[in-house]
Structure 1
Amino acid sequence: MKQRSLLRVILPLLVLAGVFLVGSLSLWYAIHQRQARLDEDARVTLMADVARLARLSDQTWPNAQSFIAADIAQQASRPQLKAALLLTETGEILMAQRSAWVGRMASEVLPGLDMQRVIRVAQGRLPDWSMDQDGVRMDGLQGFDLPAAQNEVRSSRRGVVYVVHDLTSLRAQVRDDEILHRIPEVFGNVLLAVLLLWLLSRYVAQPLYQLDRAASSLRQGQLDVIIPRVGWDEIDQMAMGLEALRQELAATWHAMPDLLFEVDMRGRYIRVLAVRPELLAAAPQQLIGRTVNEMLPKEAAQVVMQAVHDAYEQGGVWGREMRLPVAAGSRWFELSVARKTIPGQEATFLLISRDITERRQAEDGLRQLNEELESRVAARTAELLTAKEEAEQANRSKSEFLSRMSHELRTPLNAILGFGQLLELSVREAPLAGHVKQILSGGRHLLSLINELLDLARVESGQMTVSLEKVQLLSLIEECLELVKPQAQARHIRLMEASCLDRLQIMADRTRIKQVVLNLLSNAIKYNHSGGVVTVSCVQENDEICFRISDTGAGLTPEQQAKLFVPFERLQADDLQIEGTGIGLALSKRLVALMGGQIGVESQVGVGSTFWVRVKRAPDGMVSPVVPPQSGEASLALDQLPLVSRTVLCIEDNPTNLQLVDNVLSMLPGVRMLSAMAPGLGLELARTHQPDLILLDINLPDMDGYAVMQCLRESPLTAHIPVVAVSANAMPKDLERGRAAGFADYLTKPLDVVRLQQLVLDMVPGKRA
């Protein structure tokens, strides 16, 4: 209705008002311009009359007053003249258009005349004019000389010409003329306005009104309403856009399975749109005008009204669910409510209801499946935890077994290698020395086998760790070549100088990469023929460095290469009577993998084999220098040692080991050894004799070496005595525990006789005997 009033009433009134306003402004501007020209013409005329009277008066007064009177009479014939006077400077009227004014004072005839202005103009020669504020009254003044009196040689008196014009009648005439002149123009503007109003009504107002009615029908949900196609092109384009919108809304709504309701604050249905009427609680016609509480069950109505209230406070709510019996059966619906606010009207609410019955059924099924899955996962998790505990127990058992086996194997080897080293130091006959060397070689080979087995087991159990650092490759290879040189000389193998640049550095664990290189060099020597050659070369490949160790041996077939890195696979080593354990290459492959590298082989039967190792290249920089090991067997010049007194206490439960240590220390001049096979006796001897050094076994009866160490440190009599651990427990964790317990050093069995002697000499300065 407001749209109709605007288009048919208010818009025409606005057009008429606009036409009237434009015409009025045009008339006012024309009158203003003509009156401005009138004022200017009146001023020119006024000042010309004043100047002419002043000139006549100055030349002819008083002899030719008739000429002056004639000029005043001529001016008086003009309708705008109000007064034309000749005054003295005192204000006495000398001549005027009215004879009755002559001889009177100007203040009586013209009360508004400013005498100060008259006096000022009389004293000068320049004319003066002015106009009052309302623009109606205009006057002009100019002075002239009066004749000299009888007693004056020259006249000092002055007269003033004063002329006043009243422009009221002229202004009114100008206004009336302009209005009469504009009457045809105003009539034409009115006709134009009427024509314009008819065109607006016919081609704008009426089509827009029809489009407004169609839009209102769309708002009410009547998606089949006909959109009129009338009016000018622009309005027709609007109709086409509205038709396209109607078709899009109709297609969109028919594609949506939702229900749309519009309700007021009290829950009264205003509009109902339903593509699926079977989901409604009643027919759409029955819902309009009724309230939610009247048409829905109590629980469902409470859900809807609560959603409406929340939407009023928050602007919109989503995800409210309710169950409702409808024609299609008991269904679940999800509500989304939004507040609709129109200025000047009560707020209404749009409700979108979506059938989610299938989703709820799927969620219930999924929830049931989840519960079953959680039950199965819990059962499986329990099984995995049990398996994990069993695996951890097996791993612990494996570690304990390895540690125990290491201890049990090293204990007899301690006697074999220890007494063998003593024999090597004391025997001088060549046949016996050779026998002793064979014993030591076999014992050291057995010890190497034990160490490799333990390393392989630690790698496979995940207990082996590596510490990556910068390693200069050339110095490492040269160090390894120096170590295997005696082995190569014994087999008549020629070791070529390594072809490797000084600047090449790799990221690796120095100890483990050295172990790998030594193993590959040893294999290249053992599997080579007499007089063969071993070469080492290095090459940089992008961010990696590959070093290759080649031999001139018999080579490997593809079948042999496939079994090369399998533990305990020795190929033809037994047939060729080559010394080895069969696990060196398997261990090397695992160590290289731990350092992020790769290892492989290239071989040709009858030509030889090349083992290559590819590791990451380290950035350029300084590398900590490594002191190269000295070749040959170390020995002490015992006969050159000074005679000093030293007391060493050895706490050991194995008589053979005690005897070995006693024999080793008896070779040192001035060293006295105290022995104890029980921890208690050892503590008593330490407190009583306070030895210079204590050699303490870890595996002791009643209490282990760590408990004995704690007792020694707690007693002020023995707290200062250095204690060295001597044990067959050689696992890395054992060494770390020994360092943490405060042992001065940790010697592993089998003992190195020379190292034990050197340790006693270094730790116990002794007293001069």
Structure 2
Amino acid sequence: MPITWTQIFTEKSPLDLHPELIDDKHMALLRVAIWVLLIGTGLFMGILLLGPVRVHQWRIYAATALMTLAASAYFTLRYRGAVPTLRLLAIGSWVLTTVVSFVGEGLRTPILISYPVILVFGGWLLGARACLHFFIASCIAVIGLAVGQQTGFIKPVVPVSPPMMAMAFLIMLAISALLTLYLLRLFQDRYAEMRRLNDELQQSLHIGEQREEELRIAATAFESHEAMMITDAQVKILRVNQAFTECTGYTAEDVLGQSPTLFKSGRHGLDFYHHMWNSIETTGGWQGEIWNRRKNGDIYPVLLSISAVKDEHGAVTHYIGSHFDITEQKHAEAQIRELNTGLEKRVAERTAELENARNSALAADRAKSDFLASMSHEIRTPLNAILGFSQLINMAPDLPEEAKENAQEIGRAGQHLLVLINEVLDLARIEANHIELTFESVPLETLLADCLAMIKPIADKHGIELHSLTGNGHATVVRADYVRLRQVVINLLSNAIKYNRPGGAVTLACKTLGSMVRISVADSGPGIPEHKQIHLFNAFDRMGKEGGTVEGTGIGLVISKRLVEAMGGNIGFKSATGLGSTFWVDLPLSESDMPVQPELPTASTVPEANTPQSARHKVLYVEDNATSLRLMQKIIERWPEMELLGAPTAEHGIEQARRELPALILMDINLPGMDGYEALAVLKADPMTAHIPVIALTANAMKNEKDKALTAGFSAFVTKPIDLASLYDTLRQTLDTLDKQMA
């Protein structure tokens, strides 16, 4: 497409577009010639401007033309491609010509010939815009020179008149400018065509190189161990390699000119092949797994790759296919799948075994819990009668001393049995992680004083002196469960008393160790032999004291250790034969600055039989055990403000409650037929009895049973064996609440 006049003025300069205009091969000779011309011209111009001799007119013209040609040739050859430098030199030549024209009277006419020459060469080398600038500047210079001569400011050249000279030079400049633009357009048109042809040639060469590279790769691949096949554009086989023959069983003579459909296995449908060829047409290739058939009829899997070879016009000329036999890989995958299936089966079986073991463990844990609950109930029920009647006997006013001592012995034995039951239940809860702790800020001085007060009667009975080193003048507070920590300290003090020597001493001390507090209990007993110390925290191991007079279960220290560790502390000891033992407990200090002292339980005084009361409240006791019912009858007889009604079953109890409307109901949980929970639901659903408070009374002392009872709606929870003071407090508090509501 021809270059437009607009494009001529917007294109870059020819030296920018075509730096190859001058061949480097002749550059050395041209430079020598240029420098000779420049030096000669310079000498001539110096003599002309400075010398007194007037040179003939033709010599001036020759020198001017020679200088202009030499300068133009130098600019062209020396600064080709360096457009800024060439522009500077061209402008400098134009300025020099203009100066000489104005000051050199005799050189004015010949030097002005340089304007057209600079315009043509500068415009051709620097572009159309440079030509236009030179043209305008030269026209202004010529017009200014003519005006100066006409006005006499500049001496005119005789005999040519200034207007005629200016007109001649302006016409010459216009012709030179048009000639320059024509040369530029002609040159650009021709070079654009050459550039287009060159681009097409380069593209063809590039495509040819690509095809050569593809053919080279294909030729290299044909020598490899991978099966290769080349077809024409009509998908007719042109060539196969030796690896193809070894893989398929077909020789080159068998397949030349044939279609690759010869290898179809019949396992793939039309959709499969349609997708394959669609991928080849759109992306130029396809790769995937396919099942082929060998010459002997065997079907085998291959990893097939097909590539389309195209010419410079994008037309497909060949297809190159390579395939790799993956039979062994498929066998390995099948084995892996089989192993995975077997592994999954074994994992499932193992998971089922673990689940069964877990279920068995849970069942065993439930059975253990049920057994403990049953044992607690079965032992506490008769123990309730033993301790209850022993308390009633001790309260008899005219009881002989011997009978009172016997009753006290019965009570002590019953209490020991109760402690044993409670410790066994505690140990079971701890081992099952069912122990629940209530953490609070515990003031140690208060707790330790409480422990000393509780243990002092036992120490006095055994003749043991108690010493306390806990009063250090400031309140030490630890974060622990108050009740459980008191249980631990009492256990340590009790052991120190029981296993001490006659007339010995026990020292309770407390001191701060960094962020911990150490509570220590030291005794002056015989000490623990070193070979027995490793068994000290084993359950039910009393280290040879089983046949002695000291009562114990052998699990108190085990429980203490578990409780202390659950509260974030440590327990330890040191002992030496003949020097006594020291047991210590380390617990973390509390972060609270204002410890909350828990409300300690206080024993209520059981009123005597002659306590005056203003009214009698009916108390209904639903109990299937006749002994327990008789015991409760004897207890209530001591409190004249209460009248006891008995019922052996839940059904009888509900009927009697509707008939008598008692002030409160004591309900045993484990009743034959309808149990205590079901009876409670019936009573709460009946408008006649819904307001009556029901207190649970059971031999099941498990904490979860208490939580369950209170959640179900029981007003309170009392465990067997009955403590008379505690029972009276519960009954009195409930009745007082009723009296306030009725007032």
TM-score category (smaller protein): 0.5 to 0.7
Q: Distance in 1 between matches of 2:310 and 2:590?
A: 71
Whose strand fraction is larger, Structure 1's or Structure 2's? 1
Relative distance call for 1:569 and 1:285 in structure 2 (3 A) is farther
Q: Distance in 1 between matches of 2:311 and 2:606?
A: 107
Q: CA deviation at 1:287?
A: 8.2
Q: Distance in 2 between matches of 1:573 and 1:671?
A: 48
Q: Which of these residues, 383, 389, 394, is aligned with residue 413 of structure 1? A: 383
Q: Distance in 2 between matches of 1:496 and 1:375?
A: 67
Q: Deviations over 1:47-68 (max 9, x none)?
A: 4424699xxxxxxxxxxxxxxx
Spell out the pairing of 1:680-691 with structure 2 (5 A cutoff): 680-691=651-662
Relative distance call for 1:713 and 1:286 in structure 2 (3 A) is same
Identify the residue that residue 415 of structure 2 maps to in structure 1. 444
Q: Which of these residues, 658, 665, 689, is aligned with residue 694 of structure 1? A: 665
Identify the residue that residue 568 of structure 1 maps to in structure 2. 540
Q: Distance in 2 between matches of 1:614 and 1:317?
A: 76
Q: Deviations over 1:400-425 (max 9, x none)?
A: 22222111111111111111111222
Q: From the CA coordinates, give the structure whose radius of gyration is larger.
A: 1
Q: Deviations over 1:647-669 (max 9, x none)?
A: 22222222222221111111112
Spell out the pairing of 1:517-536 with structure 2 (5 A cutoff): 517-529=489-501, 530-536=503-509
Q: Distance in 1 between matches of 2:274 and 2:702?
A: 76
Q: Distance in 2 between matches of 1:27 and 1:588?
A: 106
Residue pair 1:597, 1:615 contacting (<8 A) in 2 also: yes
Identify the residue that residue 434 of structure 2 maps to in structure 1. 464
TM superposition score normalised by structure 1:
0.65
Spell out the pairing of 1:223-372 with structure 2 (5 A cutoff): 278-279=246-247, 292-294=260-262, 297-299=265-267, 306-310=275-279, 320=289, 322=291, 325=294, 331-335=300-304, 345=314, 353-372=323-342
Relative distance call for 1:613 and 1:313 in structure 2 (3 A) is farther
Q: Distance in 2 between matches of 1:621 and 1:338?
A: 83
Identify the residue that residue 146 of structure 2 maps to in structure 1. 45
Q: Distance in 2 between matches of 1:327 and 1:579?
A: 95
Relative distance call for 1:582 and 1:333 in structure 2 (3 A) is same
Q: Deviations over 1:465-514 (max 9, x none)?
A: 32453443625444434432332333313232338896766554444344
Q: CA deviation at 1:691?
A: 1.4
Q: Which of these residues, 702, 710, 719, is aligned with residue 739 of structure 1? A: 710
Q: Which of these residues, 722, 726, 732, is aligned with residue 693 of structure 2? A: 722
Moved more, 269-278 or 556-565: 269-278
Spell out the pairing of 1:125-164 with structure 2 (5 A cutoff): none
Q: CA deviation at 1:444?
A: 0.8
Q: Distance in 2 between matches of 1:301 and 1:217?
A: 36
Identify the residue that residue 573 of structure 2 maps to in structure 1. 601
Residue pair 2:606, 2:728 contacting (<8 A) in 1 also: no
Q: Distance in 1 between matches of 2:240 and 2:482?
A: 83
Whose helix fraction is larger, Structure 1's or Structure 2's? 2
Check if 1:36 corresponds to 2:137.
yes
Q: Distance in 1 between matches of 2:18 and 2:343?
A: 77
Spell out the pairing of 1:619-768 with structure 2 (5 A cutoff): 619-620=591-592, 622-630=594-602, 634-636=605-607, 639=610, 641-765=612-736
Q: CA deviation at 1:292?
A: 3.8
Relative distance call for 1:379 and 1:671 in structure 2 (3 A) is same
Residue pair 1:424, 1:433 contacting (<8 A) in 2 also: yes
Relative distance call for 1:357 and 1:639 in structure 2 (3 A) is same
Relative distance call for 1:289 and 1:485 in structure 2 (3 A) is farther
Moved more, 416-425 or 289-298: 289-298
Relative distance call for 1:217 and 1:399 in structure 2 (3 A) is same
Q: Distance in 1 between matches of 2:604 and 2:132?
A: 134
Identify the residue that residue 396 of structure 1 maps to in structure 2. 366
Moved more, 210-219 or 606-615: 210-219
Residue pair 2:564, 2:570 contacting (<8 A) in 1 also: yes
Q: Which of these residues, 434, 450, 458, is aligned with residue 487 of structure 1? A: 458
Q: Distance in 2 between matches of 1:540 and 1:275?
A: 84
Q: Distance in 2 between matches of 1:479 and 1:350?
A: 98
Q: CA deviation at 1:581?
A: 0.8
Identify the residue that residue 104 of structure 1 maps to in structure 2. none
Q: Secondary structure at the match of 1:556?
A: coil
Residue pair 1:651, 1:696 contacting (<8 A) in 2 also: yes
TM superposition score normalised by structure 2:
0.67
Q: Distance in 1 between matches of 2:239 and 2:569?
A: 75
What is the number of residues matched between the two proteins?
Answer: 604
Relative distance call for 1:265 and 1:373 in structure 2 (3 A) is farther
Relative distance call for 1:14 and 1:379 in structure 2 (3 A) is same
Q: Secondary structure at the match of 2:639?
A: coil
Residue 504 of structure 2 aligns to which amino acid in structure 1? G
Q: CA deviation at 1:572?
A: 3.0
Residue pair 1:678, 1:701 contacting (<8 A) in 2 also: yes
Residue pair 1:331, 1:355 contacting (<8 A) in 2 also: yes
Q: Secondary structure at the match of 1:644?
A: coil
Residue 293 of structure 1 aligns to which amino acid in structure 2? T
Q: CA deviation at 1:635?
A: 3.7
Residue pair 1:221, 1:271 contacting (<8 A) in 2 also: no
Residue 301 of structure 2 aligns to which amino acid in structure 1? W
Q: CA deviation at 1:260?
A: 7.6
Relative distance call for 1:578 and 1:311 in structure 2 (3 A) is farther
Relative distance call for 1:734 and 1:169 in structure 2 (3 A) is closer
Residue pair 1:552, 1:607 contacting (<8 A) in 2 also: yes
Check if 1:167 corresponds to 2:152.
no
Q: Secondary structure at the match of 1:496?
A: strand
Q: Secondary structure at the match of 2:616?
A: strand
Q: Distance in 2 between matches of 1:301 and 1:453?
A: 76
Identify the residue that residue 114 of structure 2 maps to in structure 1. none
Q: Cα RMSD over matched residues?
A: 5.1
Q: CA deviation at 1:568?
A: 1.2
Q: Secondary structure at the match of 1:451?
A: helix
Q: Deviations over 1:646-704 (max 9, x none)?
A: 22222222222222111111111232222222333322322222111212222333322
Q: Which of these residues, 213, 219, 225, is aligned with residue 214 of structure 2? A: 219
Residue pair 1:524, 1:551 contacting (<8 A) in 2 also: yes
Q: Distance in 1 between matches of 2:493 and 2:297?
A: 86
Residue pair 1:567, 1:582 contacting (<8 A) in 2 also: yes
Check if 1:579 corresponds to 2:579.
no
Q: Secondary structure at the match of 1:708?
A: helix
Identify the residue that residue 422 of structure 1 maps to in structure 2. 392
Residue pair 1:528, 1:552 contacting (<8 A) in 2 also: yes
Residue 640 of structure 2 aligns to which amino acid in structure 1? P
Spell out the pairing of 1:497-508 with structure 2 (5 A cutoff): 497-498=469-470, 508=480
Relative distance call for 1:368 and 1:635 in structure 2 (3 A) is same
Q: CA deviation at 1:435?
A: 3.2
Residue pair 2:604, 2:729 contacting (<8 A) in 1 also: no
Moved more, 390-399 or 745-754: 390-399
Check if 1:553 corresponds to 2:525.
yes
Q: Secondary structure at the match of 2:469?
A: coil
